[in-house]
Structure 1
Amino acid sequence: MDLAYFAFEGARFMMAPARLAADLTRHGIQSPANPMAYSPYARSIAAGCEMFERATRRYGKPAFGLSGTTVEGMRVPVTERVVWERPFCRVISFDRGFLRPPSEPQPKLLIVAPMSGHYATLLRGTVEAMLPNHHVLVTDWSDARMVPLMAGRFDLDSYIDYLQAIFRDLGPDLHVMAVCQPAVPVIAAVAVMEAEGSPSVPVSMTLMGGPIDTRRSPTAVNCLAQERGQAWFETNTISYVPPLYPGAWRRVYPGFLQLSGFMAMNLDRHVDAHSDMFGHLVRGDGDSAERHRDFYDEYLAVMDLTAEFYLQTVETVFVNHDLPKGTMRHRGRPVDLGAIRRCAVLAVEGENDDISGVGQTLAALDLTPNLAPERKAYHLQPDVGHYGVFNGSRYRAVIAPRISAFVRAMQVFVAEDVPHLRRVV
């Protein structure tokens, strides 16, 4: 498996002439100068060429593209600014340009994006829904194939180190939202900081569809990891980055393998979507075709993960269940969730989640016995799957307002826990 990446790049290279020919054919057939351009026959050929080109393309990192939001009925511009950066991550702040200060407090909310194959832009809808009521920041994790070897290793311990550094630099009035995979490192980072008595512990953390305890309602993903074990994943999924990229010879879990797993889980749905896309193109249904393009331009854009991070996560979270068992360690020191006494916790789950089953995120409330009940909350959203926990109509209408209400409610504890911030409340 070590050279699978080379085979993938070789196949992509060999397909390049055919992809170029398909693209040129499509543009030629659709040219206004072509008298047959609007015939059903021409549209069918053009649709086939576009489907082929899209199926063989490597998709680049998308942009967030959030240019504005509405705050208290006033439309304001939004600009992106990098406020923290290291080789494997940067934090983007979405700055809103107010003409007048809002009348309600705007808590600082850090959204920790998953490092699980997709870019942080997958959370575009998550960010957009929180912008009207929060100063939103998001972790933008780096594609491992673009990070030179000289930047060093990046494993689960490094991930937790990064989170602690971000929490310290962004201030003690910070609220954190962890979407899926980062639920474990976020709660671990908070526990380590609480044990140290750090003044920079976040005010609250919202854990959304995260694998805190995968022994509860195990899904197909959880069972596969449990059955195969870490050694199988190391043998069958880890490869070297080819010399074409800055991260040449880094051992990674390639994004194209993760994408194949994503696609395989709902293969029929993806086949139907692409069949529908072909029909939209032939019929000239531009709006439906554009919605398909927007979704799959995001969904098919994937990034590589460092091998050490991927394998350590598989072993710690899915095979050994170290966090709920109380045996997880960070840099040799125990991660004690019992140390969490200040950072409030909201657990959010989806009723139909097929990635993190119901109860896996709720476990965070049971594993923090020394946190006061008034600092704990739980929300189970009916009729949504994993993606619907952090995106879509129910997220916008129900879940996002629930999170905002929780964040505002927890603000009352800022002065109590961090006396020098009394002036903020």
Structure 2
Amino acid sequence: MLYAVHEAAYYSATPVRLASQFARDFWSSPFNPAAASRLGRTLFAAADVTANMTRRYGKPAWGIDSVEVNGRPVRVHMETAWRSPWVKMRRFWRDPADLRAAGAVLDTPAVLVVAPLSGHYATLLRGTVQTFLQDHDVYVTDWLNARDVPIVEGRFDFNDYIDHVATMLREIGRRAHVVAVCQPGPPALAASALMAQDDDPLRPASITLMGSPIDARLAPTVTNILAEERPFSWFESNMIYSVPPPYGGAMRRVYPGFVQLYSFMSMNAEKHQEAHKRYFNHLVIGDGDSADKHREFYDEYLSVLDLTEEFYLQTVDVVFQRYLLAKGELDHRGRRVDLGAMRDIGVMTVEGEKDDISGVGQTQAAHALTPNVPDDRHELYVQPGVGHYGVFNGRRFAEEIYPRVRDFIARNEAVSAAP
């Protein structure tokens, strides 16, 4: 019912949205002599804020066309290397001719960036992908919106997620390096362990876990406490809804992205209110650069996707309530996941000092859980002064975190390539 109410609210706001868009166009028109006046700019700002608050935010484009290598621009091409009804594995590759002109190495390590399936699109990692492209052949899991997947395609659960990660690693065709950002840490680590148990020749050469709840019992945050205090039945009863027509996944039971979004925004309501007040003032005074940065952030932040019922509920149960991977009790399709089987897969963890989603300690728990990985292939790093988002994006990531991850990957690439 909530999903239907949400859709009804969107369509009922159509007159307000259209009127605001008309007013915005009117007060920004170069043919309007009053557009540059204080009153004109104020009315334009009010109309723009209203139009943006009532519109639909679709999936943003990747928009990665080039990257700088050795101080020279190198064209970037994107292709779909593998797909299922639930994901498109995107490959971003740098133009060989441009790399030669830049004097760069052509044969570089392959990195699989496992994006979160937790409410936002994988494009949230655009900056992460672009940074890794400086030195790597990059693949990324571009998860699809469950509301658009026809119900005849069946289920997608925690075990399917693990299988997808393993399948994509095999599709890359050589030992790649996994970079799991936030939510995918536990299933990506499980997939790596299962491939190690099978002595799979395409098991990852390393795995880097960034701000991930490997052991959510440690340094619990507000999110962890909520998941622990509420009974599992509460999540079943209050977080799951049926997709209404006309979406392709009509009648599929999902955890709606807008529920996740409202939850996160309510945790920082004052911060978002202040951001929109500043945006309004930037429009009034004509500060276009600041206004553009605000729009760029919220175009991404307000774009959300739905998760299948079974994947969401199993994640709550396995990761946040029973801590099965951390306790060595996770079974995958009747088979125990043995992290001790990882012996030649490097493990790096990256955490943010001010992370209020995955507290410091939750990610680095992976080191104790993989005791058979040689000490020189473990690396633990806590970035001072950043929160959850800063662990994988922004200036501090590019300047302080990424160089460490790059060097870690390079060391493990050399070891895995040695005869």
Pair in the same fold by TM > 0.5: yes
1:97 maps to which residue? 95
CA distance in 2, matches of 1:348, 1:108: 19
2:390 maps to which residue? 388
1:25 Cα deviation (Å)?
A: 1.5
1:419 maps to which residue? none
- Preserved contact between residue 229 and residue 315 of structure 1 (Cα < 8 Å): no
Q: Deviations over 1:132-187 (max 9, x none)?
A: 11111111000101111111100100100111111111123211100000000000
Note if 1:24 corresponds to 2:26: no
1:39 Cα deviation (Å)?
A: 1.3
- Aligned mate of 2:236, from 222, 234, 238: 234
1:376 Cα deviation (Å)?
A: 0.9
1:106 Cα deviation (Å)?
A: 1.5
1:104 Cα deviation (Å)?
A: 7.3
Note if 1:65 corresponds to 2:93: no
SS of the equivalent of 2:13 reads helix
Q: Deviations over 1:101-126 (max 9, x none)?
A: 72475111110000010001100111
Letter in 2 for 1:16: T
SS of the equivalent of 2:325 reads helix
CA-based RMSD of the aligned residues comes to 1.2
Letter in 1 for 2:112: L
- Preserved contact between residue 172 and residue 203 of structure 1 (Cα < 8 Å): no
- Aligned mate of 2:31, from 19, 30, 33: 33
Letter in 2 for 1:316: V
- Preserved contact between residue 173 and residue 203 of structure 1 (Cα < 8 Å): yes
- Aligned mate of 2:332, from 330, 333, 345: 330
Q: Deviations over 1:284-339 (max 9, x none)?
A: 11111111111100110001111110000000000001111111111121111111
CA distance in 2, matches of 1:212, 1:272: 33
Letter in 1 for 2:32: N
SS of the equivalent of 1:322 reads coil
- Preserved contact between residue 96 and residue 106 of structure 2 (Cα < 8 Å): no
1:372 Cα deviation (Å)?
A: 1.2
Note if 1:192 corresponds to 2:190: no
Q: Deviations over 1:335-361 (max 9, x none)?
A: 111111121110111111100000100
- Aligned mate of 2:9, from 8, 11, 19: 11
SS of the equivalent of 2:196 reads helix
Note if 1:78 corresponds to 2:112: no
**How is 1:272-421 mapped onto 2 (pairs within 5 angstroms)?**
272-416=274-418
1:146 maps to which residue? 148
1:98 Cα deviation (Å)?
A: 2.5
- Aligned mate of 1:131, from 127, 130, 133: 133
Aligned length: 415
Letter in 1 for 2:22: L
CA distance in 2, matches of 1:124, 1:48: 30
CA distance in 1, matches of 2:83, 2:108: 24
Letter in 2 for 1:14: S
2:53 maps to which residue? 55
2:251 maps to which residue? 249
CA distance in 1, matches of 2:232, 2:70: 50
Letter in 1 for 2:305: M
SS of the equivalent of 1:379 reads strand
Going from structure 1 to structure 2, the CA distance change for 1:243 and 1:103 (only over 3 Å counts) comes to: closer
> What are the ranges of 5 or more consecutive residues in structure 2 without an aligned counterpart?
none
Q: Deviations over 1:232-285 (max 9, x none)?
A: 111111101111211111100001000011111211111100000000111111
